[in-house]
Amino acid sequence: MRPHPRDRDVLPRWRRLQTLPTSPEIRPLLSETQLPAKPSTEELDEKVADWAQNRAAAFAVDLVGSALVLAEPEAAIDAARFLLAESSSTTSSQRLLAEALLRSPDQPTLDLDAYVGGSQDRQAVQDRLRRVRAALKQDPRDVLAWLDLALAYTYLGLGQKASRAIEVALALQPDSRVGLRSASRLFVHLGEPDRALNALRRSKRTQSDPWLQAAEVAVSRLAGVPPKHARRSRFEVTARSHRPLDTAELAAAVATAELRSGKSRSAAQVFRKGLEDPTENAVAQAEWASRALPGLIVPDHALNLELGYEARARHYAAFGEWDKAVSDAWRWLLDEPFSTAAALFGSYVASIGADDPQEAERMARVGTLSNPRDAALRNNLAFSLVLQGRLQEAEQELRVARDLQTARHEPGLTATAGLLAYRQGDLARGRQLYLRAIELGGESPTTDPRWLALVWIFHAREQLLAGAPESHASLAAARDAAAKARTPEVELWLQRLNDLAAAHPAGA
């Protein structure tokens, strides 16, 4: 089992566009349906009356937009349904507004039952592909539809097709903020950060748009080059020439760079600027950074932002509230089902924190739908299967993972193989594999102390269960490793190990 990643960058979110019409990030794409600045309740009543008298798309759009801004969707349900029913005469932007009004405000973009479980998963996404293709036949210049097509292909693990679709969107609108951010996220997902960086730097808009500058800072690090506009980005955050919301992710990206440079005090200050009026992505970055910056406190109102699943999942896991962490991890994963980080985090907290290997298996399988060649996800899946006693299936998954592994995956795969060997009754091989995994992990300066502690704990646990003569030494080593990684999950499993040792005094 691989712990959820310790590192994080402020990469753009990439969601189905139905979740975004009211976001300032996408408004430039919706020019023909710009939402009113802030209508009054009296104006909303007038728009309801206008709609009742004039059942036409223009009046429906006006009413839906106002109802969204005022957070009174009930007033415009009929108008939203009208826009969806009249799909042949309405634009994709208008339909996006209607779908945004009709969906629950805190509902993930994919339904769990429709997505998890096998062939039905692919069928649900393929149905959406057909709908998007039909929309593109009517309007092949619909940028939003091309972006949605790329996302659907990404869900299915069809990277080349997703890449072609997003290139069409960029060709149609080269300086589109949402198009560039979506493209950069896709290219990073495909393991091509250089390509993501080129897309961002080709656009003149990146020089002045803080949303794009935030992406450029994050992608530059992944590409191994310094940000092109680092000084300007720092200035944009401190000069307040933009609204705090528009610079929230840029502040988080700049603060992260400061943190990695060892400038903890400055990093905390810039993070706080990003939390004045944050996006949920900026909040997730601050929550991640707060583990290294004890003085950085993410306020409750920020953690409770709409779509803030990742930030809440990280927060709950940091405090050992495992059921809540799993719940929000599911929402994060269904919000970004192509994200390996979401799937790794979810399967980790489910199996290690909540001790629920069945739930961990389901999360890992969602992740492998979009990322069938990710060795770490395959390893997490194999680990969850071993814990369920499904040893033959686990062995098959491990073989797949071995074929996909790189050097960084070897310690984790070796540890899971050790657990499998113990459960198959091969104590000598189990011990050999666990010690080899610990040796491999100890050789790397980037090894997560949580992982090393948990490997020692699981090794000692299997030895105690088997009554192995070496269990006393393994127990002592596990306790030493746990002392270097005082996290909730390590404390949880150390307590279980100590309880097991008390019940098996002869073996310990």
Domain covering 331-503, topology: 1.25.40
Task: Tell me what pLDDT residue 127 has.
Answer: 78
pTM: 0.83
How does residue 119 score in pLDDT terms, banded at 50, 70 and 90?
very low
**Number of neighbouring beta carbons within 10 Å of residue 1:** 26
Per-residue pLDDT, averaged over 435-441, amounts to 95
Are residues 354 and 375 in contact, defined by beta-carbon separation less than 8 angstroms? no
Which CA distances in Å does 342 have to 328, 365, 368, 435, 487?
10, 12, 11, 29, 20
**Number of neighbouring beta carbons within 10 Å of residue 330:** 22
Orientation of helix 375-387 relative to helix 391-404, angle to 10°: 170
How does residue 120 score in pLDDT terms, banded at 50, 70 and 90?
very low
Burial class (CB in 10 A: 0-12, 13-18, 19+), 389: exposed
Per-residue pLDDT, averaged over 411-425, amounts to 97
Which of 9-18, 40-49, 83-92, 460-469 has the highest mean predicted lDDT (pLDDT)? 460-469
- List the domain boundaries for the chain: 17-102, 331-503
How many helices (H) and strands (E) the chain has is answered by 27, 0
Q: Which of the two residues, 386 and 1, has the higher pLDDT score?
A: 386
Q: H or E stretch including 394?
A: helix 391-404
Residue type, 84: L
Per-residue pLDDT, averaged over 30-34, amounts to 43
Q: Token pair of 473, please?
A: 């030494």
Name the DSSP class of 350: I
Q: Is the pLDDT of residue 115 over 60?
A: no
The C-alpha atoms of residue 251 and residue 274 are separated, in whole angstroms, by: 5
What is the three-state SS of 120-153? Answer: HHHHHHHHHHHHHHHHHHHCCCCHHHHHHHHHHH
How does residue 117 score in pLDDT terms, banded at 50, 70 and 90?
very low
What is the three-state SS of 352-368? Answer: HHCCCHHHHHHHHHHHH
The C-alpha atoms of residue 6 and residue 408 are separated, in whole angstroms, by: 14
Instruction: Report phi then psi at 494, rounded to 5.
Output: -65, -40
Name the DSSP class of 406: -
Of 485, 491, 450, the closest CA to residue 345 belongs to 450
Q: Token pair of 330, please?
A: 């599911």
The C-alpha atoms of residue 494 and residue 479 are separated, in whole angstroms, by: 7
Residue type, 9: D
Q: Is the pLDDT of residue 259 over 70?
A: yes
Which of 30-34, 227-231, 367-371 has the highest mean predicted lDDT (pLDDT)? 367-371
Residues 6+ away with beta carbon under 8 Å from 268: 255, 293, 295, 296
Q: Token pair of 111, please?
A: 């339904």
The overall average pLDDT reported for the chain is 87
Dihedral class, residue 54 (left if φ above 0, else alpha if ψ from -120 to 50, else beta): beta
Q: Token pair of 298, please?
A: 């993410």
